[in-house]
Amino acid sequence: MIDPSAWAVFLMSAFVLLIVPGPAVLYIVTRSVDQGRRAGLVSVLGITVGTLFHVAAAALGVSTILVTSATAFATLKYLGAAYLVFLGIQKLRTPAADAPGGAATPARLGRVFREGVLVNLLNPKTALFFFAFLPQFVSPDRGHVWLQVIVLSATFMALGLLTDGAYALLSGSLGSWLQRSATFVSVRRYVAGCTYIALGFAAAVSGARRR
């Protein structure tokens, strides 16, 4: 099995990576502020399912293609960025709650879940994590490699549920407080929409150019 000291280092490293805001965290925060804790927690589940796809991709070797192919990596990155911009534009086009006959309709939880899956599925940094970072803590001398990968992946996902869940709960509480402000209610779609669009552009230009 995994060396306990190596597992502890992995745990601390994964925690630091998870609490640093990225596409997944900002999606969760935006959903939680906009629609409350329930939507935030559903988005967390979507992000987690998206992580499962990356685990499977790493096991099948798909992540190797992403890491070694500049074209594949860029394609996935720009698809993810474009999807975030699409979500932002869609949000900006949603009727304002205070517009005549335009009561804002919250996104269905099923849609929130699916969007969470896609946001993380189209995040190449998650693929790089499972291909480049996680294997550093796997030692063939300590038994079945596949079992070590499962343990480390499960650790990462469990920790992600905790950290992302905390973001959702805190942001949901902040959103409940902000809902009392008439000003926030009238501009929240602009805040959410601009956040998605800015995140999409940031994702498009982030990362070093791959050789």
Over residues 115-161, the pLDDT tens digits come to: 999 888 887 777 777 777 777 777 767 767 677 778 888 899 999 99
Average pLDDT, integer, range 25-49: 90
- Per cent of the chain over pLDDT 70 is 66
| Helix spans in the chain (H) | 4-19, 23-35, 37-60, 62-68, 70-92, 109-121, 124-128, 145-178, 182-205
Over residues 64-115, the pLDDT tens digits come to: 555 566 666 667 667 767 777 777 787 777 665 444 334 446 678 999 999 9
Domain ranges of the chain: 25-205
Q: Which residue has the higher pLDDT, 121 or 205?
A: 121
- The model carries a pTM of 0.69
- Which DSSP letter does residue 98 get? T
CB 80 within 8 A of CB 117: no
How many Cβ atoms are within 10 Å of 25's Cβ, its own excluded? 20
- Class of 25-205 per CATH? mainly alpha
Q: What is d(CA 122, CA 120) in angstroms, rounded to the nearest whole number?
A: 5
Q: Which residue has the higher pLDDT, 54 or 1?
A: 54
